[in-house]
Structure 1
Amino acid sequence: MRGKSNGWGLAVGVLLLLSAEPAWAQRKTKAQLLRERQATLRRVQETSRILAQTQQQKQASVGQLNALKEKLTVQQGVIKNISSELRYIETDVRQTESQVQQTRQNLDQLKAEYARLIYAGSKTANGYNRLMFLFASESFNQFMLRLRYIRQYTEVRQAQAAQITHTQQRLSTQLLGLKEKQEQKGSLLSNQISEKKNLLTLKTQQDEVVVKLTQQEETLRKELAARQQAIGRLDNLIALRVREEIARAARAAARKAAAANAARSSTAASAARSPAATSRTSPTAEAEAAAVSAAERVDRVTLTPETAELAASFHDNRGQLPWPVGRGFISQRFGRHNHPVLKNVVVENRGVDIQTSAGEAVRAVFSGKVLTVASVPGMNTIVMVQHGDYFTVYAKLRSVSVSEGQTVQARQPIGTVSTDAEGTSEVQFQVWHNSSNLNPENWLGRK
């Protein structure tokens, strides 16, 4: 009886064996990698289209060099993404191999235990032995316990057989999954090799363009000088428009305040009904002139409740504004940086230059009022939009579809980008707060 009890305990223990399952968190990581890969491939397509446009011109250009640099960056992103996917697959393969090994061990244990159950059951295989086992009971309670044991023993054998079948099926599924993952790994390795070859090709092209541009140093210096002059003219125009708007808003606020004071003074004088008071000259005109003169000396836009709300909303969207073009990349960043070709030459940019495709629509990044539409030599047509005491500037436009004083909404087209003689389509975007120049990259959201 003791031996049979030990066999029964071992059978129950086998039924409690658990199998490892893959972690759900890994699936989420794999989905994220897939989304990143798709986004990177879209950037590759965009950059390839822009690069092809600049390569239509036989002569090398800075725009072509910028496009090659961007494509190199994107290409490195592709390779990095593939490497991340490979690490994920390799981890998944190792986990699957571990699961396969564990499942095989479980299967061997189940088969061994089943063999012991069969051997133990063979001793009572016929009905006579079972009856003898039951009727040898010393009491009715022992009889019922032995009867229950025989029934449970039969159920355990059946459960054991089902568990073996289930484990074999699971092992087959795991082996199939392992084979698929190994195939994915092989495919990713091939893609990685191919993308690295593309990267080397791009680096070669970049070096060739740099050599050609270096041979055009005199031309590049002239282009840089012309650009700096154009930037200076644009800076002067922006500063002038900002000063004018500051003064206009200040005068409007001063007149409104003076009118309110005059209304209060008139009410007080009428209430007093004093002849002496009516004989004196009203100081309203002098007070208004003094208020306007003082207001014009401020260095920021005087806001109304409506424009203050607009400015606060613009500020709250810092880092979330849409790009002024639907596709493209930043070809020249904000601030001071070295020239991409000329040695020991530092250039300064008041905004960001965004290189894009020919004919691309330029859009307002936020709702506001068109303050200025003007033509600036070297910058083509520019549009300046006011958002309370914030201003956004869009330069290098070929055509404009808005007019001064017009209210525009976020993402509303305001014109199209221009394309220069070298085949480079580029828009310059600037952000100002009163008279302070801000870095647009801190305001634009992710594409």
Structure 2
Amino acid sequence: MKNIRFFISVFLFLCIALSINAQTRKQLESQRKKLKTEIKKVNKLLFETIKKEKNALNDLQDLNQKINVRNRLIRTINLEAKVLSNEIKTTEKEIQKLTKNLEVLKADYADMIFKSYKSKSQQSKTMFLLSSQNFHQAYKRLQYMKQYTSFRKKQGEEIAIKTDDVRSLKDSLVYQKQLKVTLILSEKEQKNSIVEDKKQQEVLISTIKKKEKKFKRELQNKLKEEKKVAAKIDKLIRDAIALSNKKRKAGVKKSKGFNLTPEAKALAGKFEQNKGRLPWPVEEGLITRKFGIQAHPTIGGITINSTGLHIATKKAAKAESIFNGKVFEILLTADGHKNVLIQHGNYITAYNNLEKTYVKKGDKVITGQTIGDVFTNKVTGKTKLIFVLYKNTKRLNPSDWILKR
């Protein structure tokens, strides 16, 4: 048992060490700044909204997201502080090393100046040259005197450079220590905020437990509606693919995807080339639900199969096309909201939960074009866009295609 604990401890230590070494301080600093920006977005888009009614389930989900970001920020700050501590130790050792070298240089230079002073008169230099036995020896002595003068000059310059190096390193050390203090204070501030958030979290969890059956029922009904919308879109795409394949020339084998024209193939190719660089469908947004199968963040026993990204955005936000294409379809959902589908060759992007649209079926759109207003729920105060991406009938993870923020 002791051996197992020992190996686990060693393993954890190595993981931490590798994590620290794998990321430079600049990378960690950049990550820290991004997380701070994300916390601001969470507060702005999830907590500054005006709500008519309180919903413990939604509030807990928002609070959990904020706590999660704060925890990630604390971990990043800890890693950055450790890297900084290593840098401080290295700087201190370098200062000690340079200081010793400087002391030796200064001592040698002082000794050389003293010896030079004892025989510095012009007469002694002249006598040194005149006492030469021949011209060759006189030339050698003159060269030696020049080299000696040059060496003294170089020694003086080297002392000046080393002195500047030490001064620069000391300034750097002061900055590093000040930054470490700032990081420690920032970590403390985040921990204090989490303590307050967790108090609120406990209250919300208690409220949900009292009405868990009601919340579960409401959530399950909501998820059923989402499945119906997804099924409707899937059927639309399958029917469109079947229709496009009917137009194939005789003898050409049918495919599972769209039968594309050369122009549509070129558009799909350009769409693929921009993977990871495509713009967001809203100007400002925060992902509140990721793509794929996942456990519900607040209610146990419920699994979500998210067809795309749920993006919280600001009130009166506009949904924008992420690429050139053609409006494939506009659907009206059961709750009266609109879902615009745009085709980009054999790729389709869906923009769901729109209150108003500015395009119609068959319209050509360009990258960044406004296609509708995102709906704001007057009860929760939330403005949310559901963004889905397809390649033929296959749903893809939009996070892999849009820019990282």
Using structure 2 for the length normalisation, give the TM-score.
0.82
SS in 1 for 2:48: helix
> Which stretch shows the higher mean deviation, 160-169 or 216-225?
160-169
Q: Aligned in 2, Cα 1:340/1:99: closer, same or farther, shift over 3 Å?
A: closer
Identity of aligned residues (%): 27
Q: Aligned in 2, Cα 1:189/1:232: closer, same or farther, shift over 3 Å?
A: closer
State the shift of 1:403 in Å: 1.0
Cα deviation, 1:234-282, whole Å, max 9, x if unaligned, reads: 134213422442344345x26xx58xxxxxxxxxxxxxxxxxxxxxxxx
User: Which amino acid counterpart does residue 437 of structure 1 have in structure 2?
Assistant: R
SS in 2 for 1:377: coil
Q: Aligned in 2, Cα 1:367/1:211: closer, same or farther, shift over 3 Å?
A: farther
Q: Check whether the contact 1:60–1:212 (CA below 8 A) recurs between aligned residues.
A: no
Q: Aligned in 2, Cα 1:238/1:157: closer, same or farther, shift over 3 Å?
A: closer
Q: Check whether the contact 1:303–1:388 (CA below 8 A) recurs between aligned residues.
A: yes
State the shift of 1:43 in Å: 1.6
- Counterpart of 2:404 in structure 1 is 446
> Which of residues 153, 178, 182 is equivalent to 2:177?
182
Q: Check whether the contact 2:61–2:298 (CA below 8 A) recurs between aligned residues.
A: no
> Which of residues 98, 103, 122 is equivalent to 2:98?
103
User: Which amino acid counterpart does residue 99 of structure 1 have in structure 2?
Assistant: E
Q: Check whether the contact 2:46–2:312 (CA below 8 A) recurs between aligned residues.
A: no
The 5 A counterparts of 1:98-137 are 98-137=93-132
Cα deviation, 1:278-317, whole Å, max 9, x if unaligned, reads: xxxxxxxxxxxxx9xx99x975432222223223333443
Aligned residues: 383
Q: Which consecutive residues of structure 1, in runs of 5 or more, have no partner in the other structure?
A: 1-25, 259-290
- Counterpart of 1:430 in structure 2 is 388
Distance 1:380 1:118 in 2: 90
Distance 2:258 2:265 in 1: 10
Q: Check whether the contact 1:418–1:425 (CA below 8 A) recurs between aligned residues.
A: yes
Distance 2:174 2:46 in 1: 40
Cα deviation, 1:387-434, whole Å, max 9, x if unaligned, reads: 233322221112211111111122222112222322232222222233
Distance 1:438 1:160 in 2: 67
Q: Check whether the contact 2:324–2:366 (CA below 8 A) recurs between aligned residues.
A: yes
> Which of residues 266, 280, 284 is equivalent to 1:327?
284
Q: Check whether the contact 1:397–1:427 (CA below 8 A) recurs between aligned residues.
A: yes
Distance 2:141 2:273 in 1: 78
Q: Aligned in 2, Cα 1:204/1:218: closer, same or farther, shift over 3 Å?
A: same
- Counterpart of 2:222 in structure 1 is 227
- Counterpart of 1:407 in structure 2 is 364
User: Which amino acid counterpart does residue 230 of structure 2 have in structure 1?
Assistant: D
Bigger Rg, structure 1 or 2: 1
Q: Which consecutive residues of structure 2, in runs of 5 or more, have no partner in the other structure?
A: 1-20
State the shift of 1:45 in Å: 1.4
State the shift of 1:48 in Å: 1.0
State the shift of 1:75 in Å: 1.9
Q: Aligned in 2, Cα 1:424/1:430: closer, same or farther, shift over 3 Å?
A: same
The answer to whether structure 1 residue 364 and structure 2 residue 321 are counterparts is yes
- Counterpart of 2:201 in structure 1 is 206
User: Which amino acid counterpart does residue 441 of structure 1 have in structure 2?
Assistant: S
The answer to whether structure 1 residue 380 and structure 2 residue 337 are counterparts is yes
